[in-house]
Amino acid sequence: MKFAFFDTKPYDRPAFERYGEEKGIKFKFYETKLTEDTVSLANGYDGVCVFVNDTVNAAVIDRLCEMGVKVVALRCAGFNNVDMKYAYGKIHVLRVPAYSPYAVAEHTIAMLLTSVRRIHKAYIRTRDFNFSLAGMTGFDLHGKTVGVIGTGKIGRVFINICRGFGMKVIAYDKFPAKEIEDGESVKYAELDELFAKSDIISLHCPLTEDTYHLINEETIDKCKKGVILLNTSRGALVDAEALLSGIKDRKIGAACLDVYEEEADFFFEDFSGRIISDDTLARLISMPNVIVSSHQAFLTNEALENIAETTVNNIVGFFESGTCPNELCYRCGSTEDCKTGKCF
Q: How far is the CB of 297 from ligand NAI (least distance, A)?
A: 4
The site for ligand NAI, by CB under 6 A, has a size of: 31
What's the one-letter identity of residue 299?
L
Q: Which 8-state DSSP code applies to residue 259? A: -
- Residue list 145-174, contact with ligand NAI (CB under 6 A): 149-155, 172-174
Task: Give the pairing of strands 92-94 and 145-149.
Answer: unpaired
SS3 294: coil
Using alpha carbons, select from 246, 152, 233, 143 the residue that is nearest to residue 195: 246
Of 46, 204, 227, 242, the residue at the interface with ligand NAI (CB under 6 A) is 204
Helix (H) or strand (E) holding 65: helix 58-66
| 250 flagged as catalytic | no
Q: How far apart are CA 112 and CA 135, in angstroms?
A: 17
What is the Cα 304 distance to its own chain's centre? 15
Of 236, 259, 264, 329, the residue at the interface with ligand NAI (CB under 6 A) is 259
Instruction: Please pick, among 92, 204, 263, 327, the residue that the annotation labels catalytic.
Output: 263
Q: How far apart are CA 67 and CA 64, in angstroms?
A: 5
Binding flags for ligand NAI, 69-108, as an x/- string (CB under 6 A): --------xx-------------------x--x--x----
Of 20, 47, 147, 206, the residue at the interface with ligand NAI (CB under 6 A) is 206
Q: Which 8-state DSSP code applies to residue 117? A: T
Instruction: Give 212 or 319: the residue with its C-beta nearer to ligand NAI.
Output: 212
What's the farthest any 2 CA atoms get from each other in the chain?
A: 64
Instruction: Please pick, among 234, 261, 309, 327, the residue that the annotation labels catalytic.
Output: 234
Residue 199 CB partners (closer than 8 Å, separation 6+): 144, 145, 146, 224, 226, 227, 228
Which residue's beta carbon is nearest to the bound ligand NAI?
152
Binding flags for ligand NAI, 269-308, as an x/- string (CB under 6 A): --------------------------x-xx----------
Could you give the residue numbers annotated as active site? Answer: 234, 263, 295
Give the footprint of ligand NAI on this chain (CB under 6 A): 77-78, 98, 101, 104, 149-155, 172-175, 204-208, 210-211, 232-234, 258-259, 295, 297-298
